[in-house]
């Protein structure tokens, strides 16, 4: 009866199929968001989409599962038919088909040596990718003075390393990047540490790191799992700074050992290698410096020998030079003499020529002219003298004529000249005279000084 049903559920809730499915999906996803499940792989398929479909089963049940394409690259191995696996997954529901399925996040082989198998598989994968290739690896610095160490600050590894460094007294700076080296987060932390130390080394000028050491003490295979993770392997291969992997004991080997540029069996051996390489390189420098000095000494002494030899070879020419010098002196002497002789000869010839030339010389003509001139002069003088003589004669004659007219001649005839003294005025008129005047009378042969007694004036 409808009413009865109506009474029991006053309001009917009628779901559509997709609503129901959606609710179931919600419940499933919430309840099974992250779990581990083990089982056997059955019927794996990979269609064009690139997703991997499979069925996980055990003897009593089976469940569908999928690995999305985007997750495939994180897998260490591709599960095959019948493989026992451990899967980390969450549940979801594919609504169009009403099927719930495992969404696989992580898958690894199960059973005995499952981890080892995974390890081998990853190792193979990385080897195929060329990560272990010697060509890819960075060369170790022969002298690492700045070293980054990625390890647990409280672990044994760092103590071992520091002890070796201390004992060796090797001069280096150590920069520790603390990480956890075990457990789920270890790999992620170590990857981060590698990246951080690289960027730190790039950024800080003067703090460039020469080397990174990835260190961890010994442990079980499971303990070392972080060092077998692909992400870490890739980080090591990306590092710009050379990396030494020093994980576990001698017998342990990890993926990081293979990828690293150098594998050290233990952390203390890693430190020893660094120290030894450093010491060796210093020794090498010292040896090279020694060789450099020796070589230079040899070159110099070889040069000195060459100079000595040259000097010895030069010695005889020196004597020769002396001989030559004497020769030169001798020749110079002879030359001098020769020149003197030549000069003498020239002189003589010159003299002869001079004599010969004298006749023609204007000088000789000049003296001739001079003589002529002197002759002429002489004649001129004689002429003048004769002229003077003639004039003298004429003067004589004239003077004789004059003498005839002279008063003195008149005096000779008895005439006299009376002069008044003291003026010696010739007296012409007795009127000009007075008694006792003093008079001088000039006669032909002398003079008379007289005193006037008396005067007779004629009219």
Partner 1 sequence: MAHLKFDTALSRLEATVQSLEKGDLPLEEALKVFEEGVRLSKSCLKTLEETERKVEMLIEGKDGKMKRQPFSPK
Binding residues for partner 1, rule: CB under 8 A, are 139, 141-143, 145-146, 148, 153-154, 158-159, 162, 165, 169, 171-178, 196-197, 200, 281-282, 284-285, 288-289, 291-292, 295-296, 298-299, 302-303
CB of 200 to partner 1, least distance (A): 5
Nearer to partner 1, 175 or 417 (CB): 175
Kindly list the distances between the CA atom of residue 392 and the CA atoms of 202, 386, 387, 388, 400, in Å, as whole numbers in the listed order. 146, 10, 8, 6, 12
CB of 11 to partner 1, least distance (A): 55
Q: Which of 198, 218, 196 is nearest to 267 (CA)?
A: 218
Nearer to partner 1, 121 or 172 (CB): 172
CB of 188 to partner 1, least distance (A): 14
Nearer to partner 1, 178 or 218 (CB): 178
Nearer to partner 1, 196 or 434 (CB): 196
Main-chain dihedrals φ then ψ at residue 42, nearest 5 degrees: -135, 140
What would the two tokens of residue 174 be? 């150590």
Q: Tell me if 98 sits within 8 A of 144, measured CB to CB.
A: no
Residues 6+ apart with CB under 8 A from 247: 214, 215, 216, 224, 227, 254, 256, 257
What would the two tokens of residue 264 be? 């050290």
Nearer to partner 1, 196 or 353 (CB): 196
Q: Tell me if 24 sits within 8 A of 46, measured CB to CB.
A: no
Nearer to partner 1, 91 or 213 (CB): 213
Alpha helix segments (H runs only) across 406-450: 407-412
Q: Tell me if 168 sits within 8 A of 144, measured CB to CB.
A: no
Task: Using CB atoms within 10 Å of the CB of residue 266, give its burial: 0 to 12 exposed, 13 to 18 middle, 19+ buried.
Answer: buried
Q: Tell me if 400 sits within 8 A of 411, measured CB to CB.
A: no
Nearer to partner 1, 116 or 291 (CB): 291
Nearer to partner 1, 302 or 335 (CB): 302
For residue 422, say if its preceding peptide bond is cis, omega within 30 degrees of 0.
yes
Residue ranges with strand state E in 329-388? none
What would the two tokens of residue 337 be? 């003499």
Nearer to partner 1, 198 or 245 (CB): 198
User: H or E element: which one contains 136?
Assistant: none
Label residues 425-457 b or e (16+ Cβ within 10 Å = b).
Answer: eebeeeeeeeeeeeebebeeeeeeeeebeeeee
Residues 6+ apart with CB under 8 A from 346: none
Q: DSSP 3-state assignment of 52? A: strand
Main-chain dihedrals φ then ψ at residue 121, nearest 5 degrees: -65, -45
Nearer to partner 1, 103 or 162 (CB): 162
Kindly list the distances between the CA atom of residue 131 and the CA atoms of 166, 238, 275, 311, in Å, as whole numbers in the listed order. 34, 10, 27, 67
Q: Residue 227 gets which letter from DSSP?
A: G
Q: Which of 304, 277, 287, 190 is nearest to 239 (CA)?
A: 190
Nearer to partner 1, 289 or 386 (CB): 289
């Amino acid at each position: 009866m409808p009413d009865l049903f109506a009474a029991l559920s006053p309001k009917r809730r009628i779901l559509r199929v997709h609503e129901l499915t959606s609710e179931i999906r919600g419940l499933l996803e919430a309840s099974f968001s992250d779990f581990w499940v083990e089982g056997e792989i059955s019927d794996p398929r990979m269609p064009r989409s690139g997703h991997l479909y499979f069925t996980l089963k055990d003897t009593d049940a089976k469940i569908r599962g999928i690995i999305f394409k985007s997750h495939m690259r994180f897998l260490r191995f591709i599960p095959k038919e019948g493989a026992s696996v451990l899967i980390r997954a969450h549940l979801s529901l594919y609504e169009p088909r009403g099927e719930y399925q495992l969404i696989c996040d992580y898958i690894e082989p199960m059973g005995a040596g499952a981890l080892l198998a995974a390890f081998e598989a990853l190792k193979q994968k990385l080897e195929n990718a060329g990560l272990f290739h010697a060509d890819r690896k960075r060369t170790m610095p022969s002298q690492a003075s700045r070293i980054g160490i990625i390890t647990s600050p409280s672990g044994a590894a760092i103590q071992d390393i520091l002890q070796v460094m201390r004992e060796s007294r090797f001069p280096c700076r150590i920069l520790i990047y603390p990480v956890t080296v075990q457990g789920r987060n270890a790999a992620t932390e170590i990857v981060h540490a590698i990246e951080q130390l690289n960027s730190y080394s790039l950024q800080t000028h003067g703090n460039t790191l020469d080397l990174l050491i990835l260190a961890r003490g010994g442990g079980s295979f499971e303990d070392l799992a972080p060092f077998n993770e692909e992400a870490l392997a890739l980080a090591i291969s990306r590092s710009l700074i050379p990396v030494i992997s020093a994980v576990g004991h001698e017998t342990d080997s990890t993926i990081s050992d293979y990828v690293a540029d150098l594998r050290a069996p233990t952390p203390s051996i890693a430190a020893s290698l660094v120290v030894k390489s450093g010491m060796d390189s210093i020794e090498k420098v010292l040896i090279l410096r020694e060789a450099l000095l020796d070589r230079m000494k040899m070159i110099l002494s070889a040069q000195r020998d060459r100079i000595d030899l040259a000097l010895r070879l030069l010695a005889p020419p020196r004597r020769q030079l002396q001989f030559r010098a004497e020769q030169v002196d001798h020749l110079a002497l002879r030359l001098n003499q020769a020149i003197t002789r030549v000069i003498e000869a020239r002189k003589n010839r010159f003299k002869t020529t001079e004599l010969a030339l004298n006749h023609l010389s204007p000088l000789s003509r000049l003296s001739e002219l001079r003589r002529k001139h002197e002759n002429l002069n002489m004649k001129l003088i004689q002429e003048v003298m004769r002229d003077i003589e003639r004039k003298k004669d004429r003067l004589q004659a004239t003077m004789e004529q004059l003498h005839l007219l002279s008063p003195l001649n008149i005096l000779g005839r008895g005439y006299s000249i009376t002069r008044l003294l003291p003026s010696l005025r010739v007296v012409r008129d007795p009127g000009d005279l007075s008694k006792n005047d003093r008079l001088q009378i000039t006669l032909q042969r002398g003079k008379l000084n007289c005193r006037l007694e008396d005067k007779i004036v004629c009219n």
